[in-house]
Amino acid sequence: MAFTPKTRKYLVAFLIIGWLFTLIYSFLRHPPQYPPQVKKLYRDNRVLMGTFWEVTSPDKEAAGIVFAETSRLEQLLSKYIPDSEISRLNKAGKLKVSPDTFYIIKKSRELCSATGGAFDITVAPLVDLWGFTDRKFRVPEAAEIREVLTRVGSDKIILHENDNVVEFKIPGMKIDLGGIAKGYALDCAVKKLKAKNIRSCLINAGGQVYALGDKFGQSWKVAVQGARKAEITGALELKNQSASTSGDYQQYFLIGNKRYCHIIDPATGYPAQAGIASVTVISGSGTEADAFSTAVFVLGKEKAKTLARKFNNLEIKITE
């Protein structure tokens, strides 16, 4: 098609004006930022509380803050550290403890009643009996289990609120915070990050993550490991939330085809057998996500539904 020189001039002018309008419009909608935003993430990792911790954040200081806080709590709460407060309390049966230790024991006792006894930190002697502490796995005699069960039950923990003293009612009682300490450490680390005005950070602590804020305006995306397989089966989008997974695929032993896992049903004294291969609990609280994922593993799918109705801030995903 041929244009006259005049029409061609109009057409060019029209195109240039259109292009200029588009340019001005997009400039007004997305003005350039000075200095230009560099979307850089810092990543660092460390082994703490017996697992691999990885911290990702646009803030360089984040990882150091998370590791320092987790390490401080590990020194108080780990049963594997001989002079931790938990080790000393387990040995003496009565101890004046720090506010952190007192708080988490009290919270654990509350979560024990909230889960109908499924989450119970006094399972420690049973965890030992089945060989999960020293990794010398064995199937105990029924009589041994019955004897140890007399020393299990969070109602046998006395909390002296006025002076932070924790006391066991029965000699030989012990506590194990393996099902809650990681979640509590995540909450404490996030508090420290917020105090330093850090608003964006993803902490991955083995089977549990906490996503603080977002990643450059988008939710943090977290891969979920499939039960019993080393493959990734799903992805979660999290924002100011924690996701904790409990399963029988990480710490267990097999005798024949029978699988004995490290989560013990406090009601029977035997490893939990509720037909769940893995459960992920999502909550705004790392402490609660951790304890509830352990509890759901003990309770099974049906009772988990009742729990989810009672605590409507929990999201529970089960793989059978």
Residue 55: C-alpha distances to residues 37, 209, 211 (Å):
21, 10, 10
Q: Which stretch binds Mg ion (CB under 5 A): 25-33, 71-79, 288-296, 298-306?
A: 288-296
Given Mg ion, ligand ADP, none, residue 264, with its beta carbon under 5 to 8 Å by kind, binds ligand ADP
Q: How far apart are CA 1 and CA 43, in angstroms?
A: 60
What's phi and psi for 290, nearest 5 deg? -60, -55
The token pair that represents 209 in the structure block: 């993550």
Residue 307 CA to residue 34 CA, distance in Å, equals 50
Pick from 237, 317, 231, 236: nearest CA to 277 = 317
Degrees, nearest 5: CA angle 314-319-320: 125
Task: Rank residues 58 and 179 by Cβ distance to ligand ADP and give the closer one.
Answer: 179
Alpha-carbon radius of gyration of the chain? 26
Which one among 49, 104, 294, 300 touches Mg ion, defined by CB under 5 A? 294
Residue 109: CB minimum distance to ligand ADP, A:
11
Chain positions contacting ligand ADP, by CB under 6 A? 119-121, 123, 127, 176, 178-179, 182, 207, 246, 250, 262-264, 266, 290, 293-294, 298
Distance between CA atoms of residues 154 and 117, nearest Å: 8
- For the bound state, the minimum distance from the C-beta of residue 49 to Mg ion, rounded and expressed in Å, comes to 12
Rounded Cα–Cα distance for residues 67 and 55 (Å): 9
Between 1 and 30, how does the x/- string for binding to Mg ion read (CB under 5 A)?
------------------------------
286 binds, among ligand ADP, Mg ion, none (CB under 5 to 8 A by kind): none
Q: Name which of 198 and 289 has its Cβ closer to ligand ADP.
A: 289
Instruction: Quote the least distance from Cβ 176 to ligand ADP, whole Å.
Output: 4
Amino acid at site 29: R
Pick the closer one to ligand ADP by CB: 41 or 226: 226
Q: Shortest approach of ligand ADP to residue 45 CB, angstroms?
A: 17
Specify the residue, 200 or 293, whose C-beta has the smaller distance to ligand ADP: 293
Q: How far apart are CA 250 and CA 130, in angstroms?
A: 16
User: Does residue 248 interact with Mg ion by CB under 5 A?
Assistant: no
x/- binding map, residues 164-193, to Mg ion, per CB under 5 A? Answer: ---------------x--------------
Measured from each CB, the residue nearest to ligand ADP is 178
Q: Residue 79's closest CA among 88, 91, 70, 87?
A: 87
Length of the chain: 320
